[in-house]
Amino acid sequence: KSKTRKGIKEGKYLGWDDPRLGTIRALRRRGIRPEAIRELIIEVGLKRSDTTVSWDNLAAINRKIIEPIANRYFFVADPIPMYIEGAEEFTAEIPLHPDYPERGVRRLKFEPGKPVYVSKDDMGLFKPGNFVRLKDLFNVEVVEAGEDGVKAHFHSVEYEVAKENRWRMVHWVTEGKPCEVWVPEGEELLVREGLLESDADVKVDDVVQFERFGFVRIDEVKDGKVRAIFAHR
């Protein structure tokens, strides 16, 4: 505690709820539920001797609790435009949660002539001649790729085609709204800037899953921009 207090006083940490810390306030800010902490304490046992608490154990317990609750959204980190030729207007209807269809769907509309945005994290997949599936949208063939963006050509709509050919799947957004995710990495706090689905209905304290990225807690929604704190995968 004295080390943490010193770090806060010196400005190394943002406060007792800095996501890099292991305080109860910090865990809650990351989206760790109180019942997950309680279950871990019971599992470890209240021992007088020092006990090493595994973050992986806590994440696994928390995942079990939040997985049914967390709605799904697409977040694209470090977005780059993908221009697709040969595709007609198409609206992807994607469940808010695959196991609970009654919650409804999100609608993402592709319009010819307008790019979709994909993540620089997936640049390794965008080699000319490669095929990828834009999740819940359609399949494309990569024609050209560089720092300025990706050019692709429409191939087919059917998911089965991608599955049979083992084409990799990437997530995407249309215009999107600005979103940053704070990712604690040991002593570092990485900030991933990107785009979240334009119509994502998120509010402070919601715990949601950014597909293919991980579970996050919404920390702030202000002036059309969203800040989220990474919890775990």
- Two tokens, residue 169: 């799947």
So what's the pLDDT on residue 48?
52
CB environment 17-40: b (16+ within 10 A), e (fewer): bbbbbeeeebbebbbbbeebbebb
Q: Work out the number of other CB atoms within 10 angstroms of the CB of residue 205.
A: 11
Helical H runs in the chain?
A: 2-9, 24-29, 34-44, 55-66, 159-165
Q: What is the pLDDT along the chain (233 residues), one digit of tens a residue?
A: 577 878 887 777 878 999 989 899 999 999 999 999 999 988 877 555 555 568 899 999 999 999 999 999 999 999 999 999 999 999 999 999 999 999 999 999 999 999 999 999 999 999 999 999 999 999 999 999 998 999 999 999 999 999 999 999 999 999 899 999 999 998 899 999 999 999 999 999 999 999 999 999 999 999 999 999 999 99
Model pTM score: 0.91
Domain architecture of the chain: domains with CATH: 73-170 (2.40.240.10)
Residues β-bridged to residue 230: 216
**Amino acid identity, position 87:** A
117: buried, middle or exposed (CB in 10 Å: 19+, 13-18, 0-12)?
buried
Residue 136 makes CB contacts below 8 A (sequence gap 6+) with 92, 93, 94, 108
Residue 176 makes CB contacts below 8 A (sequence gap 6+) with 76, 79, 117, 194, 195, 196, 197, 198
